[in-house]
Amino acid sequence: MASQTKSKTEEKTEVTNGRKPSEQALQAVDVAVGAVPTVAENVRTTAETWTNSETRSQEIETLQKRVQTLRDPKTRTGEIESLRERLSAELQKAETKGGDVRRQVTEQLVGRARKARERVEPVYRDRVHPVVKERVEPVYRERVEPVVKERVEPIYRDRVEPAVKKVRERI
């Protein structure tokens, strides 16, 4: 019975893979943002590996073995699964780094916004607010309020109030 009472909005925003769409969007952002430092770290590590002749030889042997297992139909599936797991681990690492970067950037932006607000609000109170009180509000009282009283309020009384009264009577 509870599933029948769901609204259309709730049905459209069902969770996928145990996550809400907003969480999925944050995950996508985190992976995209975290991919850059993750790739940079992997490039640095690989470059260090390839600059040392001993580790370079080991890396070449490892790559040759991988290529051989990918070519062999018996071991291909296992190697592909191994590569999938490695990719998944790298994506998880990127997501974690991306989340950290996103939070740091958010904190920086909030801090800058607070500082800007602290600079702007006193200026507004000292300069803009008095001008509004002196110039804008008198013009509003002289020009807008009479028009509202002459034109808007009578239409409201004649059309809106009776309609609202009828609706209330029906309820």
Each residue's pLDDT tens digit, 47-76: 999 999 999 999 999 999 999 999 999 999
pLDDT at position 11: 45
Both tokens assigned to 112:
């800058």
Say how far apart CA 67 and CA 75 lie, in whole Å. 11
The 10s digit of each residue's pLDDT in 112-171 is 999 999 999 999 999 999 999 999 999 999 999 999 999 999 999 999 999 999 999 988
* Structure tokens given for 114: 């607070």
Q: What pLDDT, on a 0 to 100 scale, did the predictor assign at position 22?
A: 86
**pLDDT confidence band for 21 (50 / 70 / 90):** confident
Is 97:34 a contact under the CB 8 Å cutoff? yes
What's the Cα-to-Cα distance from 56 to each of 12, 40, 45, 60, 86, rounded to whole Å? 53, 19, 12, 6, 20
What is the separation of C-alpha 170 from the centre of its chain, rounded to a whole number of angstroms?
45
**Predicted structure pTM score:** 0.54
Q: Count other Cβ atoms within 10 Å, centred on residue 29.
A: 15
Rg (CA), the chain: 33
